[in-house]
Amino acid sequence: MFTKKRLELIIEKPAMKRACRVLEDAGVKGYTIFPAMGGYGNSMRWQRGTDLSASRDMVMFICVFDADIITKVSAELENLFGSHIGVLSLSDVAVLRDDKF
């Protein structure tokens, strides 16, 4: 098994494409996006489907990548969070195929 970094990025849906570009430019080999259905932050609950503009929806990126590029990734994402709503966390994971990430 090989140790990699797992990034979990919860960000507002309108900024999704921007996050895609940030991750791709930083050189990750892949990521997957999941739709959130609700949440809480800033003392307020939100729920998907209560406004048709979907401008308050959130999505989660899960991205497994090599520790090498971590500085590049986090610097750019910090910039993104300067403007957009979201949270980010990093952890260690084990994977089977080293060259895949």
Contact set with ligand AMP (CB under 6 A): 10, 29-32, 39-42, 46, 58, 62-65, 85-87, 101
If we measure between CA atoms, which residue out of 64, 99, 79 comes closest to residue 22?
Answer: 79
Rounded distance between C-alpha atoms, residue 83 and residue 44, angstroms: 19
Q: What's the min distance (Å) between Cβ of 74 and another protein? A: 11
Angle between helices 70-83 and 16-26 (to 10 degrees): 160
Q: What's the min distance (Å) between Cβ of 69 and a copy of itself? A: 15
- If one counts every other C-beta atom within 10 angstroms of the C-beta of residue 98, the result is 11
Q: Which residues bind a copy of itself (CB under 8 A)?
A: 1, 4, 6, 8, 10, 16, 20, 23-24, 28-42, 45, 58-60, 62, 64, 74, 77-78, 81, 87-97, 100-101
- Which residue's CB atom is positioned nearest to ligand AMP? 30
Place of tokens 């308050």: 56
Stretch that binds another protein, among 2-10, 21-29, 59-67, 93-101 (CB under 8 A): 21-29
Task: Evaluate the CA torsion angle 17, 70, 30, 92 in order and state its sign.
Answer: negative
